[in-house]
Structure formats: structure tokens, C-alpha cells
Amino acid sequence: MRAALSEPADRSSRRRSEVPEATVARLPVYLRALHALADRGLTTVSSEALAASTGVGSAKLRKDLSHLGSYGTRGVGYDVAELVSHISAALGLGRRRAVVLVGVGNLGHALAGYGGFDERGFCVVGLFDVDPARVGEQVAGLVVRHLDALPEAVRSTGASIGVIATPAAAAQPVCDRLVAAGITSVLNFAPALLQVPPGVDVRKVDLSNELQILSFHEHRKAVALVEQDDRHTPRGVSA
């Protein structure tokens, strides 16, 4: 047998108070629902009610929140404002985060102009492209700069998040330049696999993948219909 693990029985001690990734992905959903409740003037909410307005089960919601701490009151529920602040803290939303965006094509334009970002504490502070035809153009109140200006911009704005909205072929080189400039989180809209060094996080949004997944389910539903039909008119019967 091969050599045992280098750290023998020390398995659980390394664990930090980690929040499971599946939970992290739902926190923004809870946060949004809580903001909506606050806007409607509610000050407390039960796990049942909050779950209903976010489409998850109440047990799952409670377990998710339990990873952040014990902020509910038994018999009562959660204080909306308090929960908002705890979730915001967990998500690191205490500070406004600067975002740079590379690739000001069709999609880049839309993302630059998307109001939802600023509203949630993200501020697009730089737009970049390599196409000379687009450099200099004014989009959403910013002037598109050449990608060469990226390092200086990241340094002066303290941006830590980069959005890639380039064609697939440009995504990896652009990503490399983002990372070299000091970006440590990347949101990638290009249909390409990005290679990044450890310590850099990448999330990918692929629009045609989403449609293909829906297509799978459409197909499955269609097949199910045919099979159900076959049960009525079993074999060799055609219209």
C-alpha cells in the first residue's frame, strides 16, 4: 500500500467554520426576499414564510441560516433587518465592490448598462476592449478604454472583480491579463473554460448552455407524451 496521508488523524481540526457552497449560492436569494419584505414594512419573518417567498423548503432555509449563526427567535422567527445585516456581512457586502468589464460588444453593452449591479453594491468602474472602433465610445456613462489601460485602472480603483464578455477565443488571454492586473474573481460570459491560478475564483454564465438544458427537458416531455400515447394505441397503429 502507498504511504498514508501526511497528517495522520488530524482530519476534522483543519475545518474552518465553512459555509457550504450550495448555501452560499442561496444567500443572495434570501437577501433579495428579505429586502422585499422590509420594503413591505415587515419586521419579522418565519422560516416558513421566507422559504415560501424564495422557493426553497423551510428546513433547508433554517439549516442554511444556521451555518451563519443563530439569529432567530424560537416561537417568533427572524428579525428582518438583523438577518439582512448578517447575510450581507457573510457575503462581504459591507463595502462597495468595483468591477471592471472587458468586451463591450452586444452583451457587454447590456451588462454595463444593467442597473441591477449598482443597486446591489457593485459599481462598474471600467470598460475595456481591444477593438479600436469601440475604444473611445461612451457607454453607460463611461468611456471605453483599450485593454492596455487595465492594470492602471485596477490599481487606481481597487477593483477585485472582472467580467469577461468577449468572444470565446479572447477569453483566456483576457483572463490572464485580468489576473495579472490583480483581479481575484472573474465572472465569465464567454463559452470557454478558463484556467486560473489558485486563489482566483471563476463563475461562468453560459446562455446557450441554459437553452440546451431547457431543450433536454422539452425533448423529455415530448418523449413522455409519445409513450403515453403508445399505451393507448399499442403496436403498429399509425394514423
Chain contacts with a second copy (rule: CB under 8 A)? 19, 24-25, 27-29, 31-32, 53-55, 90-93, 97, 99, 106-107, 109-111, 113-114, 116-117, 119-122, 160-161, 184-187, 191, 193, 199, 201, 203, 205-222
Show contacts of 185-193: CB within 8 Å, 24+ apart: 185/160, 185/161, 186/161, 186/162, 187/161, 187/162, 187/163, 188/163, 188/164, 189/103, 189/107, 189/111, 189/163, 189/164, 189/165, 190/103, 190/164, 190/165, 190/166, 192/168
* Residue nearer to DNA on the CB measure, 71 or 117: 71
User: Hey, what's the torsion of the CAs at 176, 172, 137, 106, to 10 degrees?
Assistant: -150
**Partners of residue 161 on adjacent β-strands:** 99, 185
- Count Cα atoms within 13 angstroms, Cβ side, for 176: 5
Does 63 contact DNA by CB under 7 A?
yes
Q: Which does 66 bind (CB under 5 to 8 A by kind): a second copy, DNA, none?
A: DNA
* Residue nearer to a second copy on the CB measure, 44 or 160: 160
Burial class (CB in 10 A: 0-12, 13-18, 19+), 83: buried
* Residue nearer to DNA on the CB measure, 24 or 205: 24
Stretch binding DNA (CB under 7 A), from 41-49, 87-95, 101-109, 206-214: 41-49
Q: Backbone phi, then psi, for 86, in 5-degree steps?
A: -70, -40
CB of 25 to DNA, least distance (A): 8
Q: Which of 186, 185, 192 is nearest to 206 (CA)?
A: 192
Does 212 contact DNA by CB under 7 A?
no
Does 128 contact DNA by CB under 7 A?
no
* Residue nearer to DNA on the CB measure, 73 or 215: 73
Going by the DSSP 8-state scheme, the letter that residue 40 receives in this structure is T
* Residue nearer to DNA on the CB measure, 76 or 123: 76
User: What x/- string results for residues 72 through 101 when contact with DNA is judged by CB under 7 A?
Assistant: xxxxxxx-----------------------
Does 173 contact DNA by CB under 7 A?
no
- The footprint of DNA (CB under 7 A) covers 20-23, 46-48, 56-60, 62-63, 65-66, 70-78
